[in-house]
Structure 1
Amino acid sequence: MTIFNGYEQSDREQKLNILNLPSLEAEAKKIIPTGGFGYISGGSEDEWTLHENTSAFNHIQIIPRALTNVDQPSTNTKVFGLNLKTPIMMAPAAAQGLAHSRGEKATAEGLAEVGGLMAQSTYSSTSIADTAAAGNGAPQFFQLYMSKDWEFNYSLLDEAVKAGAKGIILTVDATVDGYRESDIINNFQFPIPMANLAKFSEGDGKGKGIMEIYAAAAQKISPDDVRRIVKYTKLPVIVKGIESAEDALLAIGAGAEGIYVSNHGGRQLNGGPASIDVLHDVAKAVNHQVPVIFDSGVRRGSHVFKALASGADLVALARPIIYGLALGGAKGVSSVINHLNDELKIDMQLAGTKTIEDVKKAKILRK
């Protein structure tokens, strides 16, 4: 363990023997301090949407296929011009130093090892440059929580471009923070500095407190903001937090080159639909104009399959990867992705799908 400001961080670095992804949560809870674990695992209010995100995958059923002459399915795919070994990516998630002393650097290493796409958050524990360097040239996206201060926004975007980011994920569903009761119960304050915020902080330079962070966040985001970021960075801008066809079309009209269907893992609007229940309608409206990324509730290879068959091009997750990070560092992150890939390939074989493109065309039932 590393002790930082009295907070215990895991130093583990080991390959994990994983039974299933849901089992990782209880193991991670044993080593992540209570406040940090509550922040990572928690959702808003009574967490109905958080739990519905996973259970709603049961609203979709995969049609088995047998006489298809298929074997050795491949998870390789190409999205945003990037050649990837898996359609599974890291969702941008804040403050991974809460789980491991190397934070996002270890996550980036683990994703690079398995040929997956890393996305780092504005609120990362490590800097944009350090996270990019840890990936050793593997593709990464940078996620922007837009601030009211455009000097701050431009500074982060400049750093992301300089670090070689392949795209910008603009999160639009966090103009206010969801009412997360775990953080209130634990009186949670970030004990680990957020590297991208430190230079804008006053006083001791340890980084902004949670209330200061949310007070600075932009609470009005419009298509004009998407246009502004597209023009400034000249990188693909993916708009994250889309759950309606209307918003997807607004984003595309403003120049977005990707739509990211997500309800923030049940951390924002409690009582909203599970993301998988809106994916099909959003993807239908997008109609292949731009790639679609999906997250929220993914815990099984079959969930990845169902999301791809419902219109997603990439499938992201965060909590299970962060639990793997706590339990095994970069090797733990790789273990999580490898396990999910193994489950996915079983489902691909039994559904008669050789490639990820085949999965996207697979027959499914919606209840």
Structure 2
Amino acid sequence: MVEAEKRTATAQFTKIDKDTQALPISSEDWEQRARAILPDGPFDYICGGSGAEETLAANRTAFQRWAIVPRMLRDVSDRTLSITLFGQQLDTPILLAPIGMQGIAHPEGELATARAAAAYNVPFIASTVSTYSLEQIAETMGDAPRWFQLYWSNDREVSASMVRRAEAAGYGAIVLTVDTIMLGWKRRDFRNGYSPLKEGKGLANYINDPVFCSRLPVVNEEAAVQEILRNIYHPALSWEDIGFLRQQTRLPILFKGILHPEDAKLAVEHGVDGLIVSNHGGRQLDGAISSLDALPSVAEAVGGRIPLLLDSGIRTGADIIKALALGANAVLIGRPFLYGLAVAGEKGVARVIDTLISELDVSLALSGSKSVSDLNRGILTRL
């Protein structure tokens, strides 16, 4: 069965599932359903951004400034969405972004998300501050592709320990988030008096780490939270720290949070294996450039030497087409799958993934392309 036929069969199977058929289709509908289910604290933490949320809004409006100019009469009957990243073939150019503390959306949290991702062979990027440990997530996923996102610790040995654990548990890459040297100014969370980290929702990787636990006077939730807060924000992080990280693992290392082309050049010079162009979904520096607007100049600076991924603002198959045409090799999906998780657990995440894949396939065909690797800036116009 060819890839397009597999996707059609999957869609047909989904349609006969009455429970799934009742689920939303659009990201906007998922968000509305999640709003009706979740309390203010968790919902605003998930959907909100920092400051006045200018960058949060910019991540979406940036896509509206580009239009696809489709080509016709190209015979797109035989299509493929597959890509290769770090020697591994993936069925689609879609990955699930690292989102911490998914237990605030659903009791099964990352385990439900991981099962849905594994079913579609979509790489799941597990967060350092997950509700379940990286080993539990790995066990849930079996041989399915997964990466580990690292929040740098001021205690280097804790970072080293987590990276070694991820490699031992079968994770395929390390994603170092570089834009969280301090916590973004999140007005919604202040208004709600809400911090899932302080409530102990993101402890699993820490309380299961022998090096971290060795730093605690007593291993309990209160002591763990205080130690995390002392270490998770790292304004002293610099390029000199990258050599230490490289010594801890043979896995590819990607930086998540790069927006400036000069930083992209420095990353290549320091031997970083891949970049994720991201402003953290508008959750860190408000007023920052949108990820999509930053992508072309970063792509030019990288010059195809290392893979380039885009995070922040992706909601539709057409969005994915635009990101790939502007230089990304793949994209990360964030809030939409978390809304799906909140509404319907594993089935909700699966529905979000299935919808995006199906919409991407249709958008690819209608753009006049047979493969995502064929996409380039020539099919776009700036409005």
Q: Under a length normalisation based on structure 1, what TM-score does the superposition of the two structures give?
A: 0.92
Q: Secondary structure in 2 aligned to 1:15?
A: helix
8 Å CA contact 2:44–2:188 kept in 1: the answer is: yes
- Map of 2:273 onto structure 1: 257
AA of the residue aligned to 1:15: T
The 3 A distance-change label for structure 1 pair 226 and 207 is farther
CA-to-partner distance for each residue in 1:19-71, whole Å, 9 max, x for gaps?
Answer: 31121111011222221111111100110100110111011111111111212
Q: Secondary structure in 2 aligned to 1:23?
A: helix
AA of the residue aligned to 1:196: N
- Map of 2:20 onto structure 1: 15
1:197 aligns with 2:213: no
For 1:23 and 1:256, locate their aligned partners in 2 and report how far apart those are by CA, in whole Å: 38
1:354 aligns with 2:370: yes
AA of the residue aligned to 1:206: E
Q: How does 1:167-186 map to 2 (within 5 A)?
A: 167-186=173-192
Q: How does 1:48-197 map to 2 (within 5 A)?
A: 48-190=54-196, 191=199, 192-197=201-206
CA-to-partner distance for each residue in 1:297-350, whole Å, 9 max, x for gaps?
Answer: 111111111000011111002111111111222221111011011111121111
AA of the residue aligned to 1:198: I
For 1:360 and 1:292, locate their aligned partners in 2 and report how far apart those are by CA, in whole Å: 14
- Map of 2:312 onto structure 1: 296
AA of the residue aligned to 2:308: V
| 1:189 positional shift | 2.8
The 3 A distance-change label for structure 1 pair 193 and 231 is closer
The 3 A distance-change label for structure 1 pair 33 and 204 is farther
For 2:252 and 2:243, locate their aligned partners in 1 and report how far apart those are by CA, in whole Å: 11
CA-to-partner distance for each residue in 1:126-166, whole Å, 9 max, x for gaps?
Answer: 10100111111111110111010012111111110111111
Which residue of 329, 332, 339 corresponds with 2:348? 332
- Map of 1:5 onto structure 2: none
- Map of 1:232 onto structure 2: 248
For 1:41 and 1:61, locate their aligned partners in 2 and report how far apart those are by CA, in whole Å: 26
| 1:193 positional shift | 4.6
Q: Secondary structure in 1 aligned to 2:143?
A: coil
| 1:207 positional shift | 6.2
**Any stretches of 5+ residues in structure 1 without a counterpart?**
1-13
Which residue of 283, 286, 298 corresponds with 2:299? 283
8 Å CA contact 2:173–2:252 kept in 1: the answer is: yes
1:307 aligns with 2:312: no
Count of aligned residue pairs for this structure pair:
354
- Map of 2:221 onto structure 1: 206
Alpha-carbon RMSD across the aligned residues, in angstroms, is 1.8
For 1:215 and 1:332, locate their aligned partners in 2 and report how far apart those are by CA, in whole Å: 36
| 1:108 positional shift | 0.9
For 1:222 and 1:100, locate their aligned partners in 2 and report how far apart those are by CA, in whole Å: 36
AA of the residue aligned to 2:204: A
AA of the residue aligned to 2:116: G
| 1:206 positional shift | 2.5
8 Å CA contact 2:207–2:224 kept in 1: the answer is: no
8 Å CA contact 2:95–2:124 kept in 1: the answer is: yes
8 Å CA contact 1:53–1:296 kept in 2: the answer is: yes
8 Å CA contact 1:238–1:260 kept in 2: the answer is: yes
8 Å CA contact 1:194–1:208 kept in 2: the answer is: no
Q: Secondary structure in 2 aligned to 1:347?
A: helix
AA of the residue aligned to 2:220: G
Q: Secondary structure in 2 aligned to 1:273?
A: coil
AA of the residue aligned to 1:205: N
8 Å CA contact 2:100–2:202 kept in 1: the answer is: no
8 Å CA contact 2:340–2:352 kept in 1: the answer is: yes
For 1:44 and 1:211, locate their aligned partners in 2 and report how far apart those are by CA, in whole Å: 23
**Any stretches of 5+ residues in structure 2 without a counterpart?**
1-18
Q: Under a length normalisation based on structure 2, what TM-score does the superposition of the two structures give?
A: 0.88
Q: Secondary structure in 2 aligned to 1:159?
A: helix
Q: Secondary structure in 2 aligned to 1:94?
A: coil
Percent identical: 38
8 Å CA contact 2:164–2:248 kept in 1: the answer is: no
8 Å CA contact 2:206–2:224 kept in 1: the answer is: no
Structure 1 range deviating more: 19-28 or 166-175: 19-28
| 1:359 positional shift | 2.2
Task: Please identify which structure carries the higher helix content.
Answer: 2
AA of the residue aligned to 1:325: L
